[in-house]
Every structure is written in structure tokens, then in C-alpha cells.
Structure 1
């Protein structure tokens, strides 16, 4: 798959970036509640994940902007995974394996 096609595939309904957006947002809510807050801001998430604020903002909002690979890995690490885990799950689902929820 070409780089451009791979980039756009990441934003498919169950693409890696779409999944990362869901997981990071859910983790932000979970951690915010533990702190007695309603939600963490992208700056909060960036601080906890060790990535750029712009990367956290783009991933949390679902923006179709390129994000550096190291920032994607750090944001995935914020969820206890790697970005490769998200890519593998997206590949699995795109091949009809959505019924298999074992991670």
C-alpha cells in the first residue's frame, strides 16, 4: 500500500488512527475521573504521554493531519499499547475478523 493510501486507511471507521482516537479519548476520561476532573485537555494528555500537544490535539479530535510516528507510539503508550497494536487490530478487522475480540 502506498504511503498516501496507508495514511487514509488509518482513518477508515476501524482504521488504526480512528481506533487510537477512541482509545486515547476513553483513557483521558478515565484518568480525568481519577483526578476528579471531567476531562483531560490535549495538553494534559501530551504531558502524560510525553508527546507534542499538537499531536495529542489532532489524535483526540480525529483530525486528518499527519502525526509523527514517535508521537503516535507515545499516545498509544498512554493507552498501554503500541501503535503497531492498533495497526494490527485494524488489519484484522478489515479482513473480516471483527467478531474476534480477543486482544
Structure 2
């Protein structure tokens, strides 16, 4: 009960909206890293994207924990796992390419 009262100021949003926000944040970082690697933009012009994305992650996690519906159906869960796995894999590949 105490944890519900302390988090009562956090809005309850749809789980699908939070997942889409995760995906948008991930693909934004992928695009920013790729654009920087290939020299389309320099770091100074898009540095705020790199600063905001890590700060947005904890907010999205809290929103996800308070989102509705509490459980996704099997089809939506499978689609979400595939989308998040693909995004994470692409992010890792872009980070490795940036290091090399």
C-alpha cells in the first residue's frame, strides 16, 4: 500500500505506448550513432540525443511498471519480444561498428 501511495503521481499509460517509446528511443540512438560514425553529423550537433536517451530509460521503466493492461496477450508479447530483441541486436552491432 505504501508503494502505491508513493507512486500515485506517476501517470498510468498503455503498455503499448511505453514499448513504442522504448523502440523509438532505441532507434533514435542507433540513427545518431550511425550518423556520427559515417560523418553525416558531428557529435557536437547531436550531443543532446546522447544525453537524453540514458536519462529517459529509467523513466520508461517506471512507466512500464505502472502501465495498463498489466499483462499482454501472447501475440502482443511475442511481437514485443521480437521488436525489442531486434532493436537491441542492431544497437549492439552499431556500437561495435563504431568502436572498430
- Both proteins in one fold, TM over 0.5: no
TM category (shorter chain) comes to 0.3 to 0.5
